[in-house]
Amino acid sequence: MQIIANPFPFEFQLDRTALVIIDMQRDFIEPGGFGETLGNDVSLLQAIVPATQAVLQAWRRRGGLVIHTREAHRPDLADCPPAKRNRGTPALRIGDEGPMGRILIAGEPGNQIIEALAPIEGEIVIDKPGKGAFYATGLQSELRGRGIRSLVFMGVTTEVCVQTSMREANDRGYDCLLLEDCTESYFPAFKAAALEMIRAQGAIVGWTAPSASLLAALEG
């Protein structure tokens, strides 16, 4: 398949490509969650849910591989270094009791993927202790075992976990596409800058495209 993308068309084989949905968790997306307690406007992230859901449904109809990630730590915080937990002066830190349970702890209500994008049987869920989807996870083994060569990314936030994961993937030899209207930041200027960085210098990290380009290819 080939789709219109920036800076030039993106080519992929569906059976060698995975759809990777980064951290669409209740604590980041829903009102009353961790993201909102930090003073962020979560409606910015909520706005991408319909487009993200449309791509997910179309990808499922074609039988493509789907991978969901969650930023999640062990209850004892053994995988959360002080350099991460103690940064800044937030009202709540990782591991603290928040509106939806302990913040970013595996198994807590707020750590779950939102209902509109919830994984179904056969889809892979990766709990990651860092910003990148490859660090201290089994993602590379899952991809290699399935012969995956290309990755299509959606999720939040663009400039942090999404971009970090794309850079990790690029270093491991994967061609990566980011769907522009299926990713967002609490800071719109950061999203815009991240998109420019990703596709600069001939797709130095990867390609970007509107979801309509991918949907047209999947449904054509």
**Where in the sequence numbering do the catalytic residues fall?**
23, 128, 161
Which stretches does DSSP call E strand in 64-165?
65-71, 97-98, 101-102, 124-128, 150-156
Helix or strand run (H / E) with residue 157: none
Q: For residue 137, give the nearest of 123, 147, 125, 152 by alpha carbon.
A: 125
DSSP designation for 94: T
In this structure, the strands spanning 2-3 and 10-11 are antiparallel
Residue appearing with tokens 């979801």:
211
